[in-house]
Amino acid sequence: MPLVDKLLILAMGAQVFLALVILVRLGIERVPRVARGEVDVAKVSVDRSGWHTKAQLLSNSFDSQFQLPVLFFVAALICLQAGTVGWFEVSLAWLFVAARYAHAFLHTTTNPLYPRFFVFCAGLAVLAVFWLWLVVRIVTS
């Protein structure tokens, strides 16, 4: 397997790792609160507003890992299947993953809206270039 394929798969793995870390952090935040009786389980089973703010932030960030990253995974898998993985695709993949890590960090710490939105848009722009490049490369080959 070529190095660029391996690096693309590593970027995908890094994105999966991010989602799993957020999920573990969410469990660490929620489970003790439920065990201590700080949370009305009946209320949070249908509405997140009963959770502490930190748990809400982590939950929202975890949900976010199943939005843009899904489009990233599809593009990466198409690249691997089509045999079109090059250094440009690998660079875009890692830029996207870096933006997702920055977004998740901001989302789960101080949660500043404007910087978080800027990082989200940067990741979206990288993903759009990735998809545009992928489509052009496949259609023209």
User: Can you give the pLDDT at residue 111?
Assistant: 93
User: Can you give the pLDDT at residue 48?
Assistant: 83
User: Can you give the pLDDT at residue 41?
Assistant: 86
Q: What is the pTM of this model?
A: 0.94
DSSP code per residue over 44-94: HTT-GGGS-HHHHHHHHHHHHTTSHHHHHHHHHHHHHHHT---HHHHHHHH
SS3 for 112?
A: coil
Is domain 3-140 annotated with CATH 3.30.43?
A: no
Q: Which residues of the chain have pLDDT under 50?
A: none
User: Can you give the pLDDT at residue 141?
Assistant: 85
Cα dist. 23→12, 29, 55, 92 in Å? 17, 10, 10, 25
Tokens representing residue 11 in the block: 């970027």
User: Can you give the pLDDT at residue 46?
Assistant: 85
Q: How far, in Å, CA of 20 to CA of 15, rounded?
A: 9
Where do the structural domains in the chain lie, given as residue ranges?
3-140
